[in-house]
Amino acid sequence: MIFLLILLITLILFSVPMFLSIGLSTTAAFIMSDLPLFMVAQKMFDGVNSYVLLAVPLFMLAGGFMDQGGMSRRLVALSESLVGHFKGGLAITSVLSSMLFAGVSGSAAADTAAVGSALIPSMKKKGYNKDFAAAIVAAGGSIGVIIPPSIPMIIFAFIANVSVGKMFLAGILPGILIGLSLISVVLFKSRNLDIDKEDRQFDFEKFKIAFKESAWALGIPFIVVGGILGGIFTATESAAVAVVYALFVSVVIYKELTLKKIYKAAVSSIKISSVILIIISIATVFSWYLSMNNVQELLSSTFLSLTDNKLLLLLLVNIFLLVMGTFVETTASLILFVPVIAPLLASLGIDPLTSGVMIVTNLAIGMLTPPLGICLIVSGTIAESKILGISKAILPFLIVMIIDLLLITYVPFLTTYLPSIY
């Protein structure tokens, strides 16, 4: 068993693609245990033959249309009309638009790219330090996986066998908490910064125009969350409706999507989602093999042998996830660790929704940790800043997010209240 893990990590480190690394390790495991190899093919197919996972490419596609079709730009304009007049206004705008955008797309990297390309250039022009600009955009973007709809939440729901709709509801309050705490860091930090010197007032007329322009885009979170809440459709169906709605708004109302742009957006969202889903497909086989050999039980009993104090154990799990989230890619971490951690937390009497949001928040923080944090890389590329510079600038935001994570872990109200009234 140890051999398998060493093989897997060696392959990953030697730049073998994640999907193939898991595939080769799984095949090696089957050969060593004399299991028939045709089962790899059979279980790979079973791994993606799932109604829940259908939501992944559909939410990606809806996000692609919203970005290409001018919806994200209008959401940024709306946020700026609301909070742009504060000191540090553009940085606050970036957090607020990430939160709004998180409500319409499923992926943190996409949110970071959309908000970053709209705001980082103007932040630089207004005298913001480029590392600070990149850091706040990355931190805001990571909220994308916590506020619904969220792809990692769908994957968690799929593995842990909980309802996607409830998982989405559980993410709303924690997402708002993280957003507000990031904004307070911005307000605190920009007191002494030499930015936004001109004194500006909140302009109601400007807000009214921006709201009118973006009202169609704001319809999406209501359709998705409202539709699931009201029992009108399943999470998967809500993703399909979001695609049709986004296409309608971008083509008929905003008139910004050409046939060529539609095709390009479709191809790129299919590529991104099949990269994620093929990893899920093969990781399901790997995970099946591990559970056949009771590896998951072994791991969780190791955790339990360290301590049986609930609070301490939660802290240990969080530290483990934070370290892993820094090195292992999001989807792969979910498939590998959720089968271990979800039952462990359940045995401690923790609500699966709380553990889900906790695990996803850990991964969100992982997206911000240098050197592999995807949001950091995306926003750093847009701002043209060096990894060392952003690493320093991201630190206060990371600390605040870790405090938020502890709140989410130890205050179950945040995650269980909304699903309980549904």
Rounded to whole angstroms, the Cα distance separating 419 from 168 reads 9
Given a contact cutoff of 8 angstroms between Cβ atoms, the answer to whether 176 and 99 are in contact is yes
H helices of 151-251, where? 151-160, 164-189, 204-221, 227-229, 235-248
Q: What is the DSSP letter of 52?
A: G
In 3D space, the residue among 270, 359, 280 whose CA is nearest the CA of residue 50 turns out to be: 280
Binding flag, residue 202, another protein (CB under 8 A): no
Q: Is 37 a residue that touches another protein (CB under 8 A)?
A: yes
User: Using the rule CB under 8 A, is 17 a contact of another protein?
Assistant: yes
Instruction: Assign 365 to helix, strand or coil.
Output: helix
70 and 118 Cβ atoms separated by less than 8 Å: no
Which span sits near another protein by CB under 8 A: 138-146, 232-240, 387-395, 399-407?
Answer: 232-240
Q: Using the rule CB under 8 A, which residue among 38, 191, 197, 260 binds another protein?
A: 38
The answer to whether residue 257 forms part of the interface with another protein (CB under 8 A) is no
Q: Per rule CB under 8 A, is residue 260 in the interface with another protein?
A: no
Binding track, positions 361-400, relative to another protein; x by CB under 8 A: ----------xx----------------------------
C-beta closer to another protein: residue 13 or 312:
13
Give 125's contacts (C-beta < 8 A, 6+ positions apart): none
Whether the CB-CB separation of 418 and 170 falls below 8 Å is answered with yes
Is the Cβ of residue 134 or residue 265 nearer to another protein in the bound state?
A: 265
25 touches another protein by CB under 8 A: no
Site string (323-362) toward another protein, x via CB under 8 A: ------x---------------------------------
Provide the Cα torsion 176, 92, 369, 298; round to 10°.
0
* 53 closest CA partner among 152, 132, 140: 152
Instruction: Please pick, from the candidates 33, 42, 184, 420, the single residue that binds another protein as defined by CB under 8 A.
Output: 42
Instruction: Please check whether residue 300 is in contact with residue 344, taking contact to mean a CB–CB distance below 8 angstroms.
Output: yes
Nearer to another protein, 54 or 378 (CB): 54
User: Which of residues 81 and 330 has its CB atom nearest to another protein in the complex?
Assistant: 330
Residues in contact with another protein by the rule CB under 8 A: 12-20, 23-24, 27, 37-42, 44-45, 48-51, 53-54, 57-58, 61, 232-233, 236-237, 239-241, 243-244, 263, 266-267, 270-275, 277-279, 281, 329, 371-372
